[in-house]
Structure 1
Amino acid sequence: MTVSYDDKKASERRNLGVATACVVFVGGMIGMAYAAVPLYQLFCQVTGYGGTTQRVEQMSDVVLDRTINVTFDANASPGLNWDFKAVDKKVTPKIGETVQITYTATNNSPHPVTGEAIFNVTPGEAGAYFNKVQCFCFTKTTLQPGETLEMPVVFFVDPAIVEAEETKGIGTITLSYTFYPRDDQEPVAALSVGEGEEQPKL
């Protein structure tokens, strides 16, 4: 059987089309993988899903005559040579009252290092009611060699927490941060690396 020149060309065009579609598909999947983490973080910040706190622009105008315990946790990933700790270990504000607490971080490396804090609240159901007005976690933090920085967090617990069936009995909330090294040359998806995985020592 003889294959004509036109049939051969048509076959080549089909093959080229399939190859192009595969390349576009793979490229799209890679792009979606890099976008997944920031989009998931945005979703969590909006909804409070998974213990993620809310970011707000203004303070609460309602303060209840009821208090709640808030404790603070601080961690630095194995790849970040920082001392990171909560200065205030626990506060007991009224629900709806705006409070400021402080964390500190010290860079033990001999060169400048940039880090970024990932945060969550436990129990997870309380995340949607924990509102941050100001937080170092909103931006990256760069510390010079040996530098110590005080970092405030301004927050309040939404009074609506006492109305929801799954949260009205909560007496203690823990706000936890983990600082990770942040290299601007690395994709944002690198933030999803688990704490237990090996990372280069800074």
Structure 2
Amino acid sequence: MAVAQADNRRLLGKLLVIAVGMFGFGFALVPFYQKFCQVSGINDLIKPAEVKNTQVDQARTVTVQFDANIRSELPWSFTPEKTQLAVHPGQLVQVVYDVESRSDRAIVGQAVPSYGPSRAADYFNKLECFCFKQQTFQPGEKRRMPVVFVIDPKLPADVHTITLSYSFFEVEGTAKPAPGQS
């Protein structure tokens, strides 16, 4: 019986080492992924653009359409204040998105942008955006969140409309109880 208990303790020890190792590996993947994206240039759509002083092209107008989406299980409402806007390339523009949490708990979300046509992403320079970081909303919280952008005057002449679409996702593993709850 003592041999069986020793074997069980040894097996339990090995399982504990494996579990700790798996947790450490999973924990290390986040900074590794971020560094990989930084070095390779992948997923850099969620950082501020560096825009040099540009001239506004008054002779040209581009229609920018604004779209907002949320994952079905995310209990928020998310809408752009305006659905479209006429913009001159080189013009500094600010638009606002309204977000409201309909949850009874705090939720952390992350907005991910996409562009239509996709080649417009190279010319759509965001200087300020709620998509640059995770957003924590308390139960019932409402917030107006700005996006400040400039469309590069080098945008190809055949692009007359750009759609900026955001999708909000809950950041998994960050659920927090509402204030006053445990």
TM-score with structure 2 length normalisation?
0.71
1:61 is matched with 54
Letter of the 2:64 counterpart: V
2:164 is matched with 175
* Shift of residue 95, structure 1, vs aligned partner: 0.8
Residue deviations 1:86-126, cap 9 Å, x none? 11111101111010000011100011111111111110111
- Alignment size in residue pairs: 152
CA distance in 2, matches of 1:152, 1:68: 20
**1:161 and 2:150 correspond:** no
CA distance in 2, matches of 1:31, 1:140: 18
2:179 is matched with none
CA distance in 2, matches of 1:148, 1:128: 32
Letter of the 1:182 counterpart: V
Which of 128, 136, 142 lines up with 1:142 in the alignment?
136
CA contact (8 A) 2:46 2:132 kept: no
Structure 1: stretches of 5+ with no match in the other structure: 1-22, 47-51, 163-167, 187-202
2:180 is matched with none
Letter of the 2:56 counterpart: V
2:98 is matched with 104
**What's the C-alpha RMSD, in Å, of the aligned pairs?**
2.9
CA distance in 2, matches of 1:41, 1:117: 17
Rg larger in 1 or in 2?
1
* Shift of residue 149, structure 1, vs aligned partner: 0.4
CA distance in 2, matches of 1:54, 1:83: 24
Bigger drift between 74-83 and 57-66 goes to 57-66
CA contact (8 A) 2:46 2:112 kept: no
Which of 119, 125, 137 lines up with 1:125 in the alignment?
119
In structure 2, the CA distance between the partners of 1:134 and 1:126, relative to structure 1 (3 Å rule), is same
